[in-house]
Chains A and B, each alone.
Chain A
Amino acid sequence: EAGVTQFPSHSVIEKGQTVTLRCDPISGHDNLYWYRRVMGKEIKFLLHFVKESKQDESGMPNNRFLAERTGGTYSTLKVQPAELEDSGVYFCASSQNTEAFFGQGTRLTVV
């Protein structure tokens, strides 16, 4: 069974550009989460989807971040325009009941 997959694995963009990260959760998992880890800091919650609905987006830093989950399947996280402080590793996770499974993350570098 495929795990959580994220694309791209790495992205280097210039300040002001737009980047879209994608996450494909484990098939059948209703819960999908986005997290971000900035160098030296803890993994921070961004938002939580239940199926296609945003259950909790209290962790989204600002309105430059937009997350969607089309049809309750894969999810995208768009950053527009990107700023230097957006650099970090963006993890996606999915779960059905309790244990959350993580993707390998997208390492975003904004220069």
Chain B
Amino acid sequence: RKEVEQDPGPFNVPEGATVAFNCTYSNSASQSFFWYRQDCRKEPKLLMSVYSSGNEDGRFTAQLNRASQYISLLIRDSKLSDSATYLCVVTSGGYQKVTFGIGTKLQVIP
């Protein structure tokens, strides 16, 4: 079983739609959780951290469910510029090993 699992997609959604991605992780001792965004031929960049209490940043909402070991990302009112690959990232261990999911590709279409 992979340490971090994501549906690779692609998710093709129309502008203005709401889309949700999920990610599961296998290590129950994982400590920190993030969503990164990667544009084509670019490096991954932090989109947002994920907390147990959930957090929201504009159109983006991230949630963590430790009991079920999954993380979600909700994007409301999708824009064309949201088209990218969204990477679920989990850190674990005393030295914060960073593990990536395969990434979910989102294509927002006009």
Contact = CB atoms under 8 A, between A and B. Distances in A.
Interface of A: 31, 33, 35, 41-45, 48, 50, 55-56, 91, 93, 95, 97-105
20 contacts: A31-B95, A31-B96, A33-B98, A35-B100, A42-B100, A42-B101, A43-B103, A45-B99, A45-B100, A56-B95, A91-B43, A95-B98, A98-B32, A98-B91, A98-B96, A99-B46, A100-B89, A101-B46, A103-B43, A104-B42
B44 A91 contact: yes
A71 B99 CA distance: 25
A45 B96 CA distance: 13
Contact of B43 (A41, A99, A105): A105
Contacts of B87: 43
Contacts of A93: 98
B96 A97 contact: yes
Residue of B44, B46, B87, B96 most packed against chain A (CB within 10 A): B96
Contacts of B96: 31, 95, 97-98
Interface of B: 32, 34, 42-46, 49, 87, 89, 91, 95-103
A96 to B, nearest CB: 9
Contact of B44 (A50, A55, A102): A102
Contact of B98 (A41, A42, A45, A50): A45
Given A42-B100, A98-B49, A104-B42, 9 more contacts: A31-B95, A42-B101, A43-B100, A45-B98, A50-B95, A56-B97, A95-B98, A99-B34, A99-B46
